[in-house]
C-alpha cells in the first residue's frame, strides 16, 4: 500500500496514533467486537488504539464504503472531562478540512452507549513506526531519514502547525505518535490528536503544565499552573525541532533515561536541566550524531532550541530559513507540487463554505447539547441499540438523520436537536418564568424523545408538561421576532408596488443579536481634544515610568553607551573567533572598495580608508545592529560627486589623487567634510526627535528606481578608467609630483567629465573627442578584473562551501593588479604610461578637520545636499539593519540606530571622513562570515587603522582600471531589473514612479531625477486621496457581510436600499468628488427602482474636517427633501465627535436626547439594513397581499 511498508499489513493494536496511552478503556479486550450502536450505519473492521478518554476503532461507512477512524467515548462522560472533550471536538470542527496535513473530522455521533468522533483514517500509522523502520538506512548513512526526506516531511508538518496557529489553536502535544501517514508514495503526513490543544483570543499565553516530557520546551516544563504562563506557539515550535531531530537522528535531544515513567516530576526535571544547562548539540548521546547534519540544518535547530521563548524562531521565520527553502529532489518536489495543488483546491472549497457567525453559534450550540447529553446515563432498553440517536456532519455543518441524510421533513425516523422548537405550551404561567421556560422545555423535550422512541415523532404529553413536536417550526428569538424556516420561505415576495422582498428574511437571520447605537457626547470638541491630549500625556508618562521603573545604574549607562550591554553578556568561546573572521573579511573588502568610492565622490582615495575607520568604531559602540557594516557606499559617493560641484566656485579636478590644481581640490575636500558635518547633525536630530517616519515619503518604487538609475550612472562613469581615457594630458601642463619618495610616478592631469547624465557620458565615451585615446592594455586588464570579480561573487553566492570567495574578490583583484604592475613595471613615469596607477596615498591616521566647518559658503546648497544624502542613507541603513535583525532573530532599536549613525557621521567629519552609511554587500559578508556581535565592526575599524599606519604605500601602484572594475562589479547588484517586471504586474502607478526615478536619474541627473520621482509619487498619493474609491455594496447570501458588488458576483443589492462605502478620510480636497459620486450612484439606483434609504458605510473614514462636515450636512438635507432617508454605519470616534458638533444626528432624525443616540447612525452596516427593512415593512404593511407579516412578526 504505497510506501507504508509493513505498516499496511501488521496489526495496529499497539499503535497510539489516535490516543495518548493509558486511561479508561472502552472494553477490556480489544479483540472483542462489541455493539456500539452503529450497526445500521457503520461496519466494524478492527481495533486501532487506546487513548486517555476512549478507544479508537476502524469502521467502514456502509453507505460510502469509506474507512474512518472512530474515537469512542463511553457514556456517561464524567463531567470533569466533558469541557475537554467539547473543546477537542470544537477545535476539530473549526480546523475542518482546511488543510491537507491536518486530520479531518467528519462527524460527531451520539449512540445509546457512546459519543463517537469520526476522523479521517491514515492507513500507514504513525511517523514513529516509519522512522523506526529506517534503522538499516541509519546504519549506512548515520541518519534515519535523509535531510531531503526529512525536509519533505518537515515542510508539511510546519504547514499544518502554521494553519493551526492561524486559527488561534496551539497543539501543545506535537510528537511523532501524533503525526500520521497516509498510503501515498511518498507518504503525506496528517497531524492528529487535539486532546491537549487549546485556543487563544487576545494572546497565546497559557498556563497548563501538559505534554510529553521529551517534546516539552523549558518554559512549559518550568511553568506553574495558573502562575507562570507560556506562549503556545513557541511551545509548538520547540516540539517541531524535537520532531526534526528524531526524524534525522532517531533519538531525542533531551531525554530522561533514568526515569521510565514520563509522568513523574523527575522526568520533567531531568529534561529541563538538560535544556537549560547545555546546548542540545553538546549532550553526550547526540554529540557525534550531529556531525552528519549540514550547517544550515544545525543553524535552524540552534535557532529553534533557544531557551528564551521570546528570542526563539517563529513558524514564519522557519519558512524563510535557507534549510527549509532548499530545493527538494525530483521525487519529493513532484509530490510537494501535487500537495500544493490539492491545498489550493481545498482553500477554494473552504472559502465557499465558510460559516458566518450565526451558523457558527448554531453549530457550537448543537455540539454542546450533544456532549451534555452524552454526560447523561442512557436509558435502559434495547430499542435504540442499533441506530445512532443524533449525528452532526462537521464537513457540511448540518444535522443528519439516523441514516446519514440531511434532515428535511417531519417524517424523519428520529427527532433531531436542530428540529426541536417550542410551540403552544399548555402550562400555567404561574409555574414558569420566561427565563426558566426555554431551558426547562429543552431538557424535558430531549428526555421525552429519548424515552418515547415509538413510531410517532410526537411524544405523548405528560400531564402538566409541554407538548413538543419534532418538526421544523418558526424560530423564536430573544427580541421577540419570528423568522420562518427555509422550507416555508417563498421564493419571491412582491407587494402592490412591485417591490421584491425576497431578501427580507435572510437579512434578519441574526436579528436576535443585540443592536447597539452610537452615542454622542455633550462635551465640546475643544474640551474633548483637551481630554485626549491630557490622556495621551498621562499615558506616555505611565509608559515611561513603567519602562524605567527597575533600571539600575548599569541600565542607564547602557542607554548612553549600548556596547556595555552586549559586552556584559559576551560569550568569548562561542563568538570571538566568528567576530574576528567576519571583521577581517569586511576589512579585506572595504579597503579597495573604500578607495574606489572615495575617488567616485571626487575625493582622494585615502578618504575612503578614513571613512572605514573612525565612523565604523563609533557606530559599533553605539549601534544596536550586530551585523550592519558601516562605511563608504557607492550611492552616497555618487550623490556627493554630483552635488558638490554646484556648491563650490572652483573647477572640479578629474583626478583627486593627482589634482591639476591642489588648492581647488582642497576647497572641494572642505565642502565634502562640511556636508558630512551637516548630515551628521541631521542624522542625530532625526534620532533624538524620533523623526524616522519622514523616510516614508521615499516609497519602495522611488528607491528602487533611484538605485537602478544610480547604478547605471556609476557604472558608466567608471568606463573611462576601463577604456584608458584617463591618460589624456592637458596641453602644455604636467602635474607636480606630490610623492615625496624617489621613484613615484609623475602623472599628468585630465579633464574628462564626471557624473554627467547618460546621454552626455555616452557621447564622451564613444565620441570622436576621446576614442583616439582608447588603450587596449587598460581595457583588457579592466575587463579581466570585472570577469574575475563577478565570477567570485557568483560562485560565493551559489555554493555555500565557497562563500569565502565573495568578500575576497576586491582584495584578490587589488593584490593581483599591484603584483602585475610591479612585475612588469607598467607604472613607469612617462608622459603616456602603459597603465595609469592610483598614485601616492598618504599614510598615517586622519587629522582633525574641525577648522574646516566654518566659514561655510553656499550653506543652502550644502544643506539641501545633506538632506538628500541623509534621507537616502537613513533608508538604506535602516532597511538593511531590519533585515539582519529578522534573519538572526534579535531586537533592533531603530531610534538608537539613527542616533548611532548620526554620531558616527558627526565624529567622522571631525577626522577627514565624508558621509558613511550601511553597505548592502559588506553587511551580507558580515552575516555570512558568522559575525555575532558588534565586535566584528571593531575588528574592521582597527584593521583599517593598521592599514593606514603601515600598508598605504602598497596601494601607490594599484591601477585605476582595478578601482573602476571594483566599483562596476559592486553596483551591478544595485540594478534591480526583476522589480521592473514585478511592479508592472502588481501596480502600474508604482511602475510609473519607478520609471520616473530610473530615467530621471539617468537622463536628468541625480538630484533632478530624485526630485522628479518624489514629486510624482506625492502627486499620485494626492490624486488617490482627492479622488477616493467609493464602492456600491451588496450582501453575501446567508451572511451579515456586505461587499463590493463589482468584486463579488455573489453580493446582491437589496431593493429600495442603496449601500455605499467611502474608502478614504474626508477632507477639503475630496469632498466635491465624493459628493458627485454619491449623486451619481443615487441616479443609477433610481433608474432601477425607488430608493427609500441610502446607507453609507463610514468604517474606512478615519477623520473628517470642517469642509467634509458641511458637505455631509448639505447632502443629508438634500436627501431628506427628496424623500430619501440617509443612514450612516460604523463611524470612527473622531467622525462621531464632529458629527455631533455639526448637528448631523438631529438633522438625520430619530435622535434621542436622553440617551444621546440617533436611530439612523448604526454600529454595523447589517444593523442599518435591518433597521431600514423593519421600518419600511411597518410603513408598507397595508400594501402586502399576504395575511402574514412579510418581514418580522411580533410574538
- The H-assigned helical ranges of 690-757 are 700-717, 719-723
CB atoms near residue 272 (< 10 Å): 20
Q: Which of 16, 173, 182, 990 is catalytic?
A: 173
Contacts of residue 689, Cβ cutoff 8 Å, sequence gap at least 6? none
State the Cα–Cα distance between residues 955 and 815, nearest whole angstrom: 9
- The H-assigned helical ranges of 910-1058 are 920-928, 935-946, 960-971, 977-986, 988-1004, 1006-1026
CA distances to 125, 652, 913, 1008 from 668, rounded to whole Å, are 77, 7, 13, 22
Cell of 869: 544624502
Phi (first) and psi of residue 918, to 5 degrees: -75, 140
Contacts of residue 405, Cβ cutoff 8 Å, sequence gap at least 6? none
- Can you tell me whether residue 392 is helix, strand or coil? strand
State the Cα–Cα distance between residues 938 and 575, nearest whole angstrom: 14
- Can you tell me whether residue 212 is helix, strand or coil? coil
State the Cα–Cα distance between residues 798 and 805, nearest whole angstrom: 11
Cell of 592: 579597495
The DSSP symbol for 845 reads P
Cell of 594: 573604500
Length of the chain: 1195
∠ CA(1142), CA(1144), CA(1146), 5° rounding?
115
Contacts of residue 347, Cβ cutoff 8 Å, sequence gap at least 6? 98
Give me the residue label for grid cell 421525552.
Answer: 448
Is 173 a known active-site residue? yes
Ramachandran area for residue 795 (φ above 0: left; ψ -120 to 50: alpha; else beta): alpha
Contact present, 1100 and 1064 (Cβ < 8 Å): yes
Contact present, 208 and 219 (Cβ < 8 Å): no
State the Cα–Cα distance between residues 955 and 591, nearest whole angstrom: 10
Ramachandran area for residue 1094 (φ above 0: left; ψ -120 to 50: alpha; else beta): beta
State the Cα–Cα distance between residues 1001 and 1012, nearest whole angstrom: 9
* CB neighbour burial string for 480-492, b if at least 16 within 10 angstroms, e if fewer: ebbbeeeeeeeee
Rg for the chain (alpha carbons), in Å?
38
The DSSP symbol for 1052 reads B
Helix-then-strand count for the chain, H and E:
41, 26
SS3 of 464-530: CCCCCECCCCCEECCCCEEECCHHHCCCCCECCCCCECCCHHHHCCCCCCCCCEEECCCCCHHHHHH
State the Cα–Cα distance between residues 209 and 227, nearest whole angstrom: 11
Q: What is the DSSP string of 284-310?
A: HHHHTGGGGS-HHHHHHHHHHS-SSTT
Contact present, 1122 and 1086 (Cβ < 8 Å): no
Tell me the pairing of strands 1093-1097 and 1125-1129.
Answer: parallel
Cell of 804: 569565502
Q: Would the annotation count 882 as a binding residue?
A: no
The DSSP symbol for 932 reads -
Contacts of residue 236, Cβ cutoff 8 Å, sequence gap at least 6? 161, 164, 165, 170, 171, 172, 174, 315
Q: Which residues are catalytic, by number?
A: 173
Annotated binding site for ATP: 71
Amino acid at each position: 500500500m504505497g510506501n507504508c511498508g509493513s505498516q499496511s499489513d501488521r496489526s495496529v493494536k499497539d499503535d497510539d496514533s489516535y490516543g495518548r496511552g493509558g486511561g479508561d478503556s472502552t472494553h477490556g479486550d480489544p479483540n472483542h467486537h462489541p455493539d456500539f450502536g452503529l450497526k445500521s450505519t457503520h461496519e466494524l473492521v478492527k481495533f486501532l488504539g487506546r487513548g486517555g478518554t476512549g478507544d479508537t476503532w476502524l469502521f467502514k461507512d456502509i453507505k460510502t464504503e469509506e474507512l474512518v477512524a472512530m474515537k469512542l467515548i463511553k457514556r456517561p462522560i464524567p463531567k470533569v472531562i466533558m469541557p475537554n472533550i467539547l473543546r477537542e471536538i470544537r477545535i476539530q470542527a473549526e480546523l475542518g478540512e482546511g488543510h491537507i496535513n491536518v486530520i479531518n473530522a467528519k462527524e460527531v455521533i451520539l449512540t445509546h452507549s457512546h459519543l463517537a468522533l469520526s476522523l479521517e483514517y491514515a492507513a500507514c500509522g504513525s511517523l514513529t513506526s516509519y522512522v523506526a523502520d529506517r534503522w538499516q538506512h541509519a546504519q549506512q548513512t548515520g541518519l534515519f531519514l535523509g535531510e531531503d526526506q526529512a525536509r519533505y516531511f518537515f515542510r508539511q508538518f510546519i504547514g499544518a502547525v502554521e494553519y493551526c496557529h492561524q486559527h488561534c489553536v496551539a497543539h501543545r502535544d506535537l510528537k511523532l505518535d501524533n503525526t500520521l501517514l497516509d498510503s501515498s508514495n511518498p507518504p503525506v503526513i496528517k497531524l492528529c490528536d487535539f486532546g491537549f490543544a487549546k485556543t487563544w483570543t487576545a494572546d497565546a499565553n497559557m498556563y497548563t503544565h501538559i505534554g510529553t516530557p521529551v517534546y516539552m520546551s523549558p518554559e512549559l516544563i518550568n511553568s506553574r499552573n495558573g502562575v507562570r504562563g507560556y506562549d503556545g506557539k513557541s511551545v509548538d515550535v520547540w516540539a517541531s525541532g524535537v520532531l526534526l531531530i528524531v526524524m534525522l537522528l532517531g533519538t531525542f535531544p533531551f531525554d530522561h533515561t533514568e526515569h521510565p515513567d514520563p509522568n513523574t516530576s523527575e522526568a520533567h526535571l531531568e529534561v529541563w536541566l538538560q535544556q537549560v544547562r547545555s546546548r542540545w548539540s553538546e549532550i553526550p548521546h547526540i554529540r557525534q550524531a550531529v556531525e552528519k547534519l549540514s550547517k544550515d540544518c544545525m543553524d535552524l535547530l540552534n535557532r529553534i532550541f533557544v531557551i528564551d521563548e521570546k528570542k526563539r524562531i517563529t513558524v514564519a521565520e522557519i519558512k524563510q530559513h535557507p534549510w527549509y527553502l532548499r530545493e527538494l529532489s525530483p521525487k519529493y518536489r513532484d509530490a510537494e507540487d501535487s500537495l500544493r495543488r490539492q491545498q489550493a483546491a481545498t482553500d477554494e472549497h473552504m472559502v465557499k463554505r465558510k460559516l458566518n457567525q450565526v451558523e457558527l453559534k448554531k453549530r457550537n450550540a448543537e455540539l454542546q447539547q450533544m456532549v451534555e447529553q452524552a454526560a447523561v446515563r442512557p436509558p435502559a432498553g434495547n430499542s435504540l441499540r442499533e441506530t445512532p440517536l443524533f449525528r452532526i456532519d462537521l464537513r457540511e455543518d448540518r444535522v443528519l438523520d439516523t441514516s446519514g441524510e440531511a434532515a428535511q421533513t417531519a417524517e424523519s425516523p428520529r427527532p433531531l436537536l436542530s428540529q426541536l422548537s417550542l410551540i403552544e405550551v399548555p402550562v400555567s404561567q404561574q409555574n414558569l418564568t420566561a427565563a426558566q421556560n426555554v431551558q426547562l422545555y429543552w431538557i424535558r423535550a430531549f428526555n421525552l424523545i429519548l424515552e418515547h422512541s415509538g413510531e410517532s415523532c410526537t411524544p405523548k404529553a405528560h400531564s402538566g408538561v409541554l407538548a413538543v413536536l419534532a418538526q421544523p417550526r418558526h424560530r423564536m428569538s430573544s427580541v421577540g421576532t419570528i423568522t420562518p424556516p427555509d422550507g416555508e420561505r417563498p421564493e419571491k415576495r412582491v407587494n402592490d408596488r412591485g417591490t421584491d422582498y425576497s431578501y427580507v428574511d435572510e437579512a434578519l437571520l441574526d436579528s436576535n443579536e443585540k443592536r447597539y447605537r452610537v452615542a454622542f457626547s455633550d462635551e465640546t470638541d475643544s474640551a474633548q481634544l483637551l481630554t485626549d491630549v491630557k490622556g495621551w500625556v498621562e499615558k506616555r508618562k505611565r509608559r515611561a515610568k513603567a519602562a524605567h521603573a527597575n533600571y539600575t545604574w548599569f541600565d542607564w549607562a547602557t542607554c548612553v553607551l549600548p556596547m556595555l550591554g552586549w559586552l556584559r553578556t559576551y560569550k568569548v568561546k562561542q563568538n570571538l573567533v566568528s567576530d574576528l573572521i567576519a571583521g577581517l573579511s569586511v576589512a579585506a573588502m572595504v579597503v579597495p572598495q573604500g578607495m574606489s568610492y572615495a575617488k567616485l565622490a571626487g575625493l582622494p582615495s585615502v578618504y575612503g580608508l578614513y571613512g572605514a575607520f573612525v565612523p565604523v568604531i563609533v557606530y559599533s559602540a553605539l549601534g544596536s545592529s550586530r551585523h550592519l557594516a558601516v562605511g563608504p557606499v557607492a550611492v552616497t559617493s555618487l550623490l556627493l560627486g554630483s552635488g558638490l560641484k554646484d556648491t563650490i566656485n572652483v573647477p572640479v579636478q578629474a583626478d583627486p589623487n593627482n589634482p591639476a590644481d591642489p588648492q581647488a581640490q582642497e576647497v572641494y575636500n572642505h565642502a565634502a567634510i562640511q556636508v558630512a558635518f551637516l548630515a551628521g547633525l541631521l542624522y542625530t536630530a532625526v534620532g533624538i526627535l524620533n523623526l524616522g517616519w519622514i523616510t516614508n515619503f521615499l516609497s519602495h518604487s522611488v528607491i528602487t528606481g533611484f538605485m537602478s538609475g544610480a547604478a547605471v550612472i556609476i557604472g558608466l562613469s567608471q568606463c573611462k578608467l576601463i577604456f584608458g581615457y584617463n591618460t589624456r594630458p592637458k596641453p602644455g601642463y604636467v602635474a607636480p609630483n606630490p610623492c615625496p619618495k624617489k621613484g613615484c610616478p609623475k602623472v599628468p592631469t585630465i579633464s574628462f567629465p564626471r557624473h554627467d547624465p547618460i546621454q552626455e557620458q555616452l557621447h564622451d565615451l564613444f565620441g570622436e573627442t576621446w576614442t583616439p585615446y582608447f588603450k587596449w592594455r587598460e581595457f583588457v586588464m579592466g575587463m579581466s578584473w570585472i570577469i574575475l570579480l563577478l565570477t567570485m561573487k557568483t560562485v560565493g553566492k551559489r555554493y555555500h562551501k565557497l562563500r569565502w570567495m565573495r568578500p575576497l574578490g576586491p582584495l584578490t583583484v587589488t593584490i593581483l593588479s599591484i603584483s602585475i604592475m610591479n612585475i612588469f613595471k607598467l607604472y613607469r613615469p612617462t608622459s603616456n604610461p602603459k597603465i595609469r596607477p592610483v598614485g601616492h596615498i598618504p599614510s598615517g591616521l586622519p587629522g582633525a578637520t574641525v577648522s574646516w566647518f566654518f566659514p561655510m559658503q553656499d550653506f543652502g546648497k550644502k544643506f539641501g545636499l545633506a538632506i538628500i544624502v541623509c534621507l537616502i542613507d537613513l533608508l538604506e541603513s535602516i532597511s538593511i539593519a531590519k533585515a539582519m535583525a529578522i534573519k538572526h532573530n534579535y531586537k533592533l532599536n531603530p531610534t538608537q540606530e539613527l542616533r548611532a549613525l548620526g554620531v558616527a557621521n558627526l565624529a567622522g567629519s571631525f577626522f577627514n571622513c565624508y558621509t558613511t552609511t550601511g553597505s548592502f554587500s559588506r553587511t551580507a559578508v558580515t552575516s555570512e562570515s558568522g559575525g555575532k556581535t558588534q565586535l566584528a565592526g571593531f575588528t574592521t575599524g582597527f584593521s583599517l587603522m593598521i592599514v593606514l599606519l603601515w600598508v598605504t604605500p602598497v596601494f601607490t601602484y594599484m591601477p585605476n582600471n582595478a578601482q573602476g572594475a571594483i566599483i562596476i562589479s559592486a553596483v551591478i547588484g544595485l540594478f534591480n531589473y526583476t522589480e521592473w517586471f514585478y511592479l508592472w504586474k502588481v501596480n502600474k502607478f508604482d511602475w510609473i514612479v519607478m520609471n520616473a526615478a530610473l530615467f530621471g536619474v539617468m537622463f536628468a541627473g541625480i538630484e533632478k531625477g530624485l526630485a522628479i520621482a518624489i514629486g510624482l509619487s506625492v502627486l499620485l498619493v494626492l490624486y488617490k486621496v482627492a479622488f477616493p474609491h467609493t464602492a456600491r455594496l451588496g450582501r453575501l447570501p446567508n451572511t451579515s457581510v456586505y461587499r463590493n458588488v463589482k468584486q463579488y458576483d455573489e453580493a446582491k443589492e437589496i431593493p429600495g436600499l442603496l449601500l455605499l462605502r467611502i474608502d478614504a478620510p474626508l477632507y477639503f480636497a475630496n469632498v466635491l468628488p465624493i459628493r458627485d459620486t454619491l449623486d451619481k450612484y443615487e441616479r443609477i439606483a433610481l433608474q432601477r427602482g425607488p430608493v427609500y434609504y441610502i446607507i453609507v458605510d463610514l468604517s474606512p473614514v478615519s477623520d473628517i474636517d470642517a469642509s467634509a462636515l458641511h458637505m455631509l450636512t448639505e447632502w443629508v438635507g438634500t436627501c431628506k427633501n427628496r424623500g430619501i432617508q440617509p443612514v450612516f454605519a460604523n463611524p470612527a470616534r473622531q467622525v462621531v465627535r464632529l458629527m455631533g458638533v455639526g448637528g448631523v444626528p438631529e438633522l438625520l432624525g430619530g435622535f434621542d436626547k436622553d440617551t444621546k443616540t440617533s436611530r439612523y447612525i448604526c454600529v454595523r452596516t447589517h444593523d442599518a439594513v435591518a433597521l431600514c427593512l423593519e421600518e419600511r415593512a411597518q410603513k408598507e404593511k397595508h400594501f402586502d397581499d399576504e395575511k402574514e407579516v412579510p418581514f418580522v412578526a411580533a410574538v
